[in-house]
Structure 1
Amino acid sequence: MVSDFRKKKLLHVFTVFFDTNRSGNIDSKDFELAIANITKSRGWNAGDAQYNEVRDTLLRVWDGLQGRADANKDGEVSFDEWVSTWEEYTKNPSAAPQWLTDYSKFIFQLEDASNDGSIDSEEFSSVYASFGLNKAEAATAFQKMSQGKSSVSWAEFQELWKEYFTSEDANAPGNFIFGKTDF
């Protein structure tokens, strides 16, 4: 059973990063809107290589998520279905489904705006501000996530990612990977 603490973290990711049209469920329209918002914020146009990469990645994520989480096959993922998916993940995080691996890498690459293989506070907080989160809170979250270091590498990010979805420890650094400081 997923604890209330973990449900709060899952709700944050569900509402801010997946249910982009705020319908209460995740569906293909959310991914279309995310593609439009992300590519617009980066100045990428349809046909650009970066635009195509974002589109292709997010559509793969949607296909994988829907195939795994849409238990009643209605074309949407409800919050309860979302929680069930993460409950399954928690049992064996090292066997993450491909859609989740793709999404984790996508988020890292989105945050690594300089493309130098690591994320710094400015890159991190700017991305989360573009999703409507408070930039100052995101910068504080970065400091907690990075444990005071100036950057986070891909290898570190992967461990923090697992920690976010599995940890019950409110002070675990991974809890801050999505730009929020309290749950």
Structure 2
Amino acid sequence: MLNDLQLRKMAHLFALLDVDDDGVIDKMDYTASADRLVNAFGFAPGSTESQRVRAQYARLWDEVTLPMDTNGDERVDRTEFTTGFDRFVTQPEEGYLRHIAPVADAFYDLMDTDGDGRITRTEYLRMAGSAFRMSEANSLSAFERLDLDGNGSLSRQELHRANEQFFRSPDAQAPGNWLFGPLPPRT
């Protein structure tokens, strides 16, 4: 069962993924997020990079989010989303590796525009602003907390650690809690 922190993280991510702010997530929200991301990085619609990101978003929808839909309307509300992430990602030991790691790898490859194997502050800010509608200030705060070794860039390992902490950790001090910017205050 998710603790208060984990519930807040899921509510925060839900709000970021609900692109049209209609209170539910559907396949269109995932398609729109993928399109914003590939456009922000300047990839053509039919490019290999674009197809890979869209395929990972489609996989995330088909294999993780759609099965959360308990009433069969092909839309996932916040309760279904939270319960589903707990069931598919947070609780099973392999949940992160099976469902989130491939998407994180696709994001990493897309963000690493210069191919140097590291995500720079600029690359991270571009991704956070386009894919998750994060402000520049929130993106910068997130980056600083995720850069565990303080070298000014994110390694693939740092990104995976942050993702796994966001989706699985009940620890309020885990740097990965900042993956999608600051969490809203408790309500």
Partner of 2:14 in structure 1? 14
Whether contact under 8 Å (2:65, 2:81) holds in the other structure is: no
Q: CA deviation at 1:24?
A: 1.0
Q: 1: distance between equivalents of 2:39 and 2:49?
A: 11
Of the two structures, which has the highest relative contact order with CA contacts closer than 8 Å and spacing of 6 or more? Answer: 2
Residues 124 and 138 in structure 1, CA contact (< 8 A), matched pair in contact too: yes
User: Once structures 1 and 2 are overlaid, which stretch shifts more, 52-61 or 22-31?
Assistant: 52-61
Question: Which residue of the partner structure matches residue 81 of structure 1?
Answer: 80
Q: Which residue of structure 2 aligns with residue 174 of structure 1? A: 176
For residues 71 and 162 of structure 1, the distance between their equivalents in structure 2, rounded to whole angstroms, comes to 25
| Post-superposition offset of 1:5 | 1.7
Task: Let me know the Cα RMSD of the aligned residues.
Answer: 2.2
State how far apart, in whole Å, the 1-side matches of 2:66 and 2:128 are. 28
Match of 1:137 in 2: 138
- Give, in whole Å, the separation in 2 of the partners of 1:119 and 1:93: 27
**% identical equivalent positions:** 26
Cα distance change, pair 53–7 in 1 and its aligned pair in 2 (3 A): same
85-94 or 69-78, which moves further after superposition? 85-94
Aligned residues: 182
1:25-44 → structure 2 map (5 Å cutoff): 25-44=24-43
1:80 Cα deviation from its structure 2 partner = 0.9
Check conservation: 2:108, 2:156, Cα contact below 8 A: yes
SS at match of 1:20: coil
The answer (yes or no) to whether the contact 2:68–2:83 under 8 Å persists in 1 is yes
CA gap 1:109/1:182 in 2 versus in 1, 3 angstroms: farther
Structure 2: runs of 5 or more not aligned:
none
Q: Aligned partners of 2:155, 2:97: CA distance in 1, in Å?
A: 22
CA distance in 1, matches of 2:112, 2:184: 24
Q: Which runs of 5+ in 1 are unaligned?
A: none
Counterparts in 2 of 1:158 and 1:35: CA distance versus 1, 3 Å: closer
- Corresponding letter in the other structure for 1:34: S
Q: Tell me how far apart the structure 1 counterparts of residues 122 and 41 of structure 2 sit (CA, whole Å).
A: 15
| TM-score, scaled relative to structure 2 | 0.83
The residue that corresponds to 1:156 in the other structure is: 158
In the alignment, the residues of structure 1 paired with residue 115 and residue 182 of structure 2 have an alpha-carbon distance, to the nearest angstrom, of 23
The secondary structure found in structure 2 opposite 1:138 is: helix
Does the alignment pair 1:46 with 2:45? yes
Q: Cα distance, 1:30 vs. partner?
A: 0.9
